Structure 1
Amino acid sequence: MPIAIKMPALSPTMEEGTLAKWLVKVGDKVSSGDIMAEIETDKATMEFEAVDEGIIADISVPEGTEGVKVGTVIATLAEEGEDLSKAKAPAVEEAKAASAPVAAPAPAQAPVSAPAPAKAASATVAKQSGDRVIASPLAKRIAAEKGIDLAGVKGSGPNGRIVKADVEGAKPGAAPAAAPVLAAHAPAGAQDFGIPHVEEKLSGMRKTIARRLTESKQQVPHIYLTVDIRLDALLKLRAELNSALEARGVKLSVNDMLIKALAQALLQVPSCNVQFTGDTLLKFSRADISVAVSIPGGLITPIVADAGNKTISAIASEMKDLAARAREGKLAPSEYQGGTASLSNMGMYGIKQFEAIINPPQAMIMAIGAGEKRPYVIDDSLQIATVMSATGSFDHRAIDGADGAAFMKAFKELVEKPLGLVA
């Protein structure tokens, strides 16, 4: 009996993905655990393994297809010895049934009209009651990008459905003012004013970043608290530790030490190691730090779990591995989903101070600016010190200003007296 292989949910929040690459072809035999395809989610490109064994009878979603909904039939697996041509039928019919439009009921007194000529039927079958255009999600996206009015496109798919091939060769035309798909992809007011430009399609990652950060700023009441922190003692300790660790091939960065300080501060001020859930407050007993890493096309936050109880050298080795695999798109969902707080460091770009947007459902994020030589009062005298500005963004629904201030004080003390990080 044929088995329908469906688009998997590779993370709890995944709703759709891109079928980046097939690693099998029709006729190939697969066993449980074999890698069948590479699927791009909003965060990474992941390998999709076979669960059952059999022979690939049909591939119904070609590689490179974007916006494939979770649960969509993407291929069919047949048992060994089964007729492949018959085995693929159930999956194909299931896919057709899922996409077939539901016709609106006819008015009670509507007269029965004569059937239209066969030639005209194929050109109009894509139009249902109310002139609704039936098109695949990919065809809709391509049409939106090219400014193509789908009402004038003839569909060649099942039941006259407009597919990718139909719109790729179509000429741009004015789209109906009320077309919902265009409204979703071209915000009202977007104009180029005749300025030379290039349109770049948003990746799934960029769309997710845009949606989540917009939701955060609209729904989470942010409160920002900034402190200036002397780095001289931490820089001195870092140099000494790196000298001692050189033989082991470990090199600590300032960021590694700040990850440790952030985690310890959360453990010292547990009222900030929380998450707001609406009618309850989650209070975490462990500090898992999400660290912002810039990657091509976006940003990802790999997690150092239980950072408060790890040595700085262990954090350094883990971050080196996580950052490398993040840039290659090879992180597992468990390595970037979760975390109790985030760290975003833009000091390497010379940014003096900034306010980061909270990464929901977390309740705080620490923004780190560049360390720079500044006039600073030390022991009642004006001296020159290496100082950085750190700004904590807190979800005011979960964290009061006084608790946030206590947390910033603890973080400042840990950085300025860094022996506490290795004790």
Structure 2
Amino acid sequence: MATTVRMPEVLANTTEAAIQSWSVAVGDEVAVGQPLAEIETDKAVVEYAAEVSGTVLELLVAEGDLVDVGAPIAVVGEPGEATTSTDAAPAPAATAGDAPADPESAAPVADAEPAFDESTASQEDVASPDGGGETGSAPDAGRRFMSPLVRRLVREHGIDLVGVTGSGPEGRIVRRDVEPLIAAKGAAPAEPAAPKAEATYAQQAAPAQEAAPAASAASTPPAPPAAATTPGADADLIPHTRMRRTIARRLVESKTQVPHFYLTAECRVDRLLELRRELNAAGTVKVSVNDLVVKAVAGALADVPEANRTWSDDGVLQHRAADIAIAVALDDGLVTPVVRGVEGLSVSELGRRIADLAERARSGGLRQHEIEGGSFSVSNLGMYGTREFTAIINPPHAGILAVGAARRAPVVVDGVLEVGTVMSVTLSADHRVLDGAVAARWLAAFQARIEHPLTILA
């Protein structure tokens, strides 16, 4: 019997997604675990593996099409097997015209990292310069490449793409290419007007008051003015991307629902820097300070296992491995891919994995499992010269270490003042899981490993 493959919820609480590219064609044989498609959400582009074996009988969704989670996207079965009529009717995702002003507000926040990189756009054939044509309806000479996000912006704002040169990979049109055109046309699409049923409370509760003299109406306090969103002579309006909205919502949720507290330490890193120089001189893989920091974080989690825990509604989860998320900056946000089992990796192998994840995060090539899970995060702004900062916890992680720049500073050693190299780090901890004493012991263990770096390699 043929099996209908439906759009998966590739990340928790995702409500819609697009097929960025198919990895199979009709007639191909697929096995469980074989890549089926690359799926693009507002947070990431992830590889979706087949969950059934058989022959691909139909592909119901074109590359670039946005559909609801749970909608049919393909049919797999035996060669020549008939498919049912319901297989050929995938439910499209809500369009911009009938969606609320913030289409993501209806869905709860996922506990995975936001990671939508529109520069990794899927290929789309556009029949006309305004982007309104159907996929595959244009000749090769008229092909324009863009992501579902760009296509939606083009349609929402009525943008003419004649003369637009894509700055993304292989000339793809990305968000930054259309933003100036959007700004030139004026404000973003207006918020939907409130229906009459949502009139003022006085109109709903007492319709007779509508006929009252204006003097009585004046006694009702006026509603506070809405924040200005129309660009003026001194400002340009840059429309929110889906990723920026997701980041904003998740960070607000973290700060309001997760009880943060902070601990700061200064680590002397002269020995650490010397170890790094020796490793890079002897090895073929260049090791960064951040690689050593992440390895020290894993070592401290092994020293204080009570810190390797996360909160859940059913109880506290005690993690056995050090799965650590690394903050990676994108053009318009950030993503935190997870390196798993850091405690068992050599520093050079850890460096390779971090570099690979960072590169694929920026190009949109992360897989689903690479942006989920973990118990701890590291955010390093030292390369920008930032002395110290505090970071917001990335749920469901119980902590995030903010790493500042290494700098020359006066230090006291055995009562004698001398010049050394120090690095400030700040731990943001979830007080639901980590008590102050546990967090302090973890930070002390981390500091000890940084200041005695040979313990990092053990």
Q: TM-score normalised to the size of structure 2?
A: 0.66
Unaligned runs of 5+ in 2: 104-151, 160-184, 198-224
Q: Which residue among 166, 172, 191 is the counterpart of 2:229? A: 191
Unaligned runs of 5+ in 1: 100-134, 146-163, 181-186
Residues 1:177 and 2:194 are matched in the alignment: yes
Q: State how far apart, in whole Å, the 2-side matches of 1:353 and 1:267 are.
A: 25
Match of 1:303 in 2: 338
What whole-Å deviation, never above 9, does each CA across 1:177-203 have from its counterpart, x for those lacking one? 2499xxxxxx96352352442433413
Larger radius of gyration: 1
Q: State how far apart, in whole Å, the 2-side matches of 1:91 and 1:352 are.
A: 57
Match of 1:71 in 2: 70
Distance 1:201 1:174, change over 3 A: closer
Partner-residue secondary structure (3-state), 1:8: coil
Match of 1:29 in 2: 27
Report deviation, 1:298: 2.5
Partner-residue secondary structure (3-state), 1:362: coil
Check conservation: 1:31, 1:54, Cα contact below 8 A: yes
What whole-Å deviation, never above 9, does each CA across 1:55-100 have from its counterpart, x for those lacking one? 43x74x554334x2211134567976579xxx684345674xxx8x
Residues 1:336 and 2:364 are matched in the alignment: no
Note the aligned Cα RMSD (angstroms).
3.5
What whole-Å deviation, never above 9, does each CA across 1:310-361 have from its counterpart, x for those lacking one? 2212211222222222222222222221112111101001111111111111
Q: State how far apart, in whole Å, the 1-side matches of 2:303 and 2:77 are.
A: 58
Partner-residue secondary structure (3-state), 1:406: helix
Match of 1:150 in 2: none
Match of 2:449 in 1: 414
Equivalent pairs counted in the alignment come to 349
Match of 2:271 in 1: 233
Check conservation: 1:275, 1:362, Cα contact below 8 A: yes
Check conservation: 2:56, 2:75, Cα contact below 8 A: no
Partner-residue secondary structure (3-state), 1:319: helix
Check conservation: 2:403, 2:424, Cα contact below 8 A: yes
Distance 1:253 1:71, change over 3 A: same
Q: State how far apart, in whole Å, the 2-side matches of 1:294 and 1:320 are.
A: 13
Partner-residue secondary structure (3-state), 1:243: helix
Q: State how far apart, in whole Å, the 2-side matches of 1:319 and 1:294 are.
A: 13
Amino acid at match of 2:98: K
Amino acid at match of 2:194: A
Q: Identity of paired residues, percent?
A: 42
Amino acid at match of 2:286: K
Check conservation: 2:265, 2:443, Cα contact below 8 A: yes
Partner-residue secondary structure (3-state), 2:19: strand
Amino acid at match of 1:213: L
Match of 1:90 in 2: 86
Distance 1:349 1:174, change over 3 A: closer
Partner-residue secondary structure (3-state), 2:30: coil
Q: State how far apart, in whole Å, the 2-side matches of 1:293 and 1:251 are.
A: 18
Amino acid at match of 1:14: T
Distance 1:349 1:32, change over 3 A: same
For residues 182-221 of structure 1, the aligned pairs below 5 Å read 189-192=227-230, 194-195=232-233, 196-203=235-242, 205-221=243-259
Amino acid at match of 1:346: L
What whole-Å deviation, never above 9, does each CA across 1:167-225 have from its counterpart, x for those lacking one? 77799778422499xxxxxx96352352442433413x333322322211110000000
Match of 1:44 in 2: 44
Distance 1:166 1:418, change over 3 A: closer
For residues 282-293 of structure 1, the aligned pairs below 5 Å read 282-293=317-328
Q: TM-score normalised to the size of structure 1?
A: 0.72
Residues 1:223 and 2:261 are matched in the alignment: yes
The answer to which of 225-234 and 4-13 deviates more is 4-13
Residues 1:393 and 2:391 are matched in the alignment: no
Check conservation: 1:392, 1:408, Cα contact below 8 A: yes
Check conservation: 1:142, 1:168, Cα contact below 8 A: no
Residues 1:140 and 2:98 are matched in the alignment: yes
Match of 1:252 in 2: 287
Check conservation: 1:143, 1:167, Cα contact below 8 A: no
